[in-house]
Amino acid sequence: MGPAKILIVEDDPIIASLIELRLITLGYSVSGKAKNETETLGAIATEVPDLILMDITLEGETDGITLTKKILREKKVPVVFLTGHTDDDTIARVKEVGPSGFIIKPFNDRDLRVSVELAITRRG
């Protein structure tokens, strides 16, 4: 089995590229990058990743929490939120979804590696 394939869902292309570089450096494979609902659903229709790293604020009307609910109704794929939003309302909404992890921006490689490994292991 090769490295875990991870889909990055992030509306900021610079941050998405930074996350991609960090994941590759840590030994993972990036299956794609998406910035909105349409791109994300298209990406997982082609190839279901081993993990989705999901930002909460996305391009368009659908946010990452709503998109994750939609994905989890159709696919069994772990989702780790990667966001700077830690207000009480956001956390309450995230808890309803039951993600495989939550990383607060800014993050370091260790935070990323640990969260990804735990989420992938739980999927097992």
pLDDT one-digit tens code per residue, 22-79: 999 999 999 999 999 999 999 999 999 999 999 999 999 999 999 999 999 999 999 9
Q: Are 105 and 82 in contact (CB under 8 A)?
A: yes
Can you tell me the distance from the alpha carbon of 122 to that of 124, in angstroms, rounded to the nearest whole number? Answer: 5
Domain-located, residue 114: no
What residue numbers bound the domain in which 25 lies? Answer: 5-109
* Residue 93 belongs to domain with CATH number: 3.40.50.2300
Q: What is the pTM of this model?
A: 0.95
Count of domains for the chain: 1
pLDDT in tens, 85-124: 999 999 999 999 999 999 999 999 999 999 999 999 876 5
Helix (H, G, I), strand (E, B) or coil at 80: strand
Query: Does residue 120 sit within a domain?
Result: no
